[in-house]
Amino acid sequence: MIATLPRLHAVTDDRVVGAGRVVQRAAAMAAAAGAALAVHVRTRTLEGTALLDLARRVKDAIAPHGSWLVVNDRADVARAAGAQAIVTGRSGLGVRDVRRVAPGIPVARSVHDAASARAAAAEEADFLLAGAVFETPSHPHAPAGGPDLVRAAAGDGGARQVIAIGGMTTANARGIIEAGAWGVAAIRALWDAPDPAQAARAFLAALPVTRTVALVVNGESRAVSEGTTLAGLLAQLGLDPRAVVVEHNRRIVRRDALGEVRLAAGDAVELIHFVGGG
Amino acid sequence: MATMADAATAQDAPLEIGGRSFHSRLLVGTGKYKDNATMVRALEASGAEIVTVAVRRISLDRTKEEGILYHLDPAHFFLLANTAGCYTAEDAMRYARLAREAGFNDFIKLEVIGDQQTLLPDVAGLLEAAKALAREGFKVMAYTNDDLITALRLEDAGCAAVMPLASPIGSGLGLLNPFNIRTIKARLKVPVIVDAGVGTASDACATMEQGVDGILMNTALAEARDPVAMAHAMRLATEAGRAAYLAGRMPRREVAVPSSPTRGMLS
């Protein structure tokens, strides 16, 4: 889990980029939302140099406010632009290949159901963009998964960090967060607003507070979102519960109870296995 | 391979510890090998059934490589978890409980170390942990000094086996006090497994000749130039020492006694 992952994602598409003033609108939203905002540069209409130029200008405009630049599909452009994350689409490169191109940058995967969410977690995606949650003009024929899609993508006990996308509005955001999403992504509701900064502010106000919980796992500080269970923590770490013994605040937790123990601030978790010894 | 040792051990009773029965009297560790493939081949060459493992934190970055169970088939070996590295009874008990939770068995090789330089046991902590763990149903195999009184106390505490050292862990000094080991073996009812200190095959053979029930080693294999060949040698030496003990050695004398007839000499 990335404790600093922004909760509001302003995603561009060909139409938004074609309409121009992307940098100005991104800067206005960044000024309003700061570190809670990620701006996604996503368009098929621009080739390498022009796309990199746009990504760099967005980055320069939003970075002073602490907002993230996220580049979709083009790992090379993301790396060159200094993006904070990369989203790889359904038919895009695998997470491992993206990491090879752009080492050290968090990678998200677009997913559309529980199976693709599990597959993305298996390839160790850092977070997921799950959609379409609601009907949206940008994908008119895609079935809307609703809160169930978010629940399935997030998995039991908050195993996966999910940003919900597709038809998101200030009106429906709360229910989606309550279903287990970390944050929301929008195209029209932000970029088409007469005042994008005001729209970003309204979105953030609509998101219920999701607190993170600071833990110590095997002596290292880590954060998980509130409500995460021990089973969810193991899933986030990519650990098979059958190969681990779990101690929670000095008490051993049996495998079948891992899904029942929710983590709280200051908890100490030890994850143990057998190594060579005499 | 069919050796004379096989013929002799065939007449030997199996090694019984904590209600389980084993045919090999050689127990081996899994630490310090230069790579896992060598470790696995050495274990096979040793013929050991009981192999020791340590309890440690998972490394959160690269988990799949260092877990020993990715290399060892737990159906093929009896995994004996240890509490190596623990300096208090409380720590050793914590490690033992975590090890049992892994779900293989309720045996624990109990170590409570008293000193970093010699790795000699803290017998007060050892007795405290042994008592508590035995009460919790553990089959405790206690690593201890070659001291009869401690060994007796460990037996009274409910240990399934007592494991006096031949010499300090990893030292390769061999059997320093055969008298103490023989004394312990003569007085205890539970199995006596000599643990730690053997360096080469003659050490293992001499140790088994004292009549102990088994021997546990790690560094002598892992740090041999050829661990697989040394494992084979240790297997033969363990069997040879056991067979010699069962055969019963001749008495020691301070004078020579001729082997050939003194009668019938030419005048």
For residue A34, pLDDT over 80 is answered with: yes
Question: Residue A227 sits in which domain range?
Answer: 213-272
Question: How many domains does chain B contain in total?
Answer: 1
Residue A224 confidence (pLDDT): 86
Residue B11 confidence (pLDDT): 76
- Domain-embedded: residue A278: no
Residue B3 confidence (pLDDT): 53
Of A243, A272, A277, the CB nearest to B82: A277
Handedness of CA A239, A240, A243, A245 (dihedral sign): positive
Q: Chain A residues with CB inside 8 Å of B33's CB? A: 276
Residue A2 confidence (pLDDT): 85
pLDDT per position as a tens digit, B71-115 = 888 889 999 999 999 999 999 999 999 999 988 999 999 999 999
A174 & A142 share domain: yes
Find the CATH number of the domain harbouring A227.
3.10.20.30
- Domain-embedded: residue A227: yes
Find the CATH number of the domain harbouring B70.
3.20.20.70
The reply to whether B234 touches chain A by the CB within 8 Å rule is no
The rounded distance, in Å, linking the Cα atoms of B159 and B111 is 13
> β-strand A268-276 against A251-253: which pairing, if any?
unpaired
Which of A163, A179, A209 is at the close of a domain?
A: A209
Q: Chain B residues with CB inside 8 Å of A239's CB? A: 58, 63
Rg (CA), chain A: 19
- Domain-embedded: residue A1: no
Q: How far apart are the first and last CA of chain A?
A: 36
Inter-chain CB proximity B56 and A275 less than 8 Å: yes
Residue of B nearest to A124 (CA): B61
Residue B10 confidence (pLDDT): 52
A129 & A186 share domain: yes
Inter-chain CB proximity A276 and B101 less than 8 Å: no
Beta bridge partners of A109: A88, A128
A175 & A218 share domain: no
The reply to whether B79 touches chain A by the CB within 8 Å rule is yes
pLDDT per position as a tens digit, A1-30 = 787 899 999 999 999 999 999 999 999 999
Residue B210 confidence (pLDDT): 97
> Helix or strand or coil: residue A167?
coil
Catalytic residue among B32, B109, B185, B189: B109
Residue numbers of chain B with a pLDDT score lower than 70? 1-10, 62-65
Determine the distance in angstroms separating the CA of A250 from the nearest CA of chain B, rounded to an integer: 8
Assess whether B109 carries a catalytic annotation. Answer: yes
A48 & A82 share domain: yes
What DSSP state is assigned to residue B194? Answer: E
Q: Chain B residues with CB inside 8 Å of A269's CB? A: none
Inter-chain CB proximity B54 and A243 less than 8 Å: no
A218 & A254 share domain: yes
- Domain-embedded: residue B132: yes
The rounded distance, in Å, linking the Cα atoms of A39 and B262 is 106
Determine the distance in angstroms separating the CA of A35 from the nearest CA of chain B, rounded to an integer: 27
Question: How many domains does chain A contain in total?
Answer: 2
Determine the distance in angstroms separating the CA of B178 from the nearest CA of chain A, rounded to an integer: 22
Backbone angles phi and psi of B260, in degrees to 5: -100, 155
pLDDT per position as a tens digit, A216-270 = 999 999 888 888 899 989 988 888 888 899 999 999 999 999 999 999 999 999 9
A199 & A225 share domain: no
The reply to whether B29 touches chain A by the CB within 8 Å rule is yes
A220 & A188 share domain: no
Average pLDDT over residues A181-209: 93
Determine the distance in angstroms separating the CA of B259 from the nearest CA of chain A, rounded to an integer: 45
The rounded distance, in Å, linking the Cα atoms of A199 and A30 is 12
pLDDT per position as a tens digit, B36-75 = 999 999 999 999 999 999 999 998 876 556 788 888 888 8
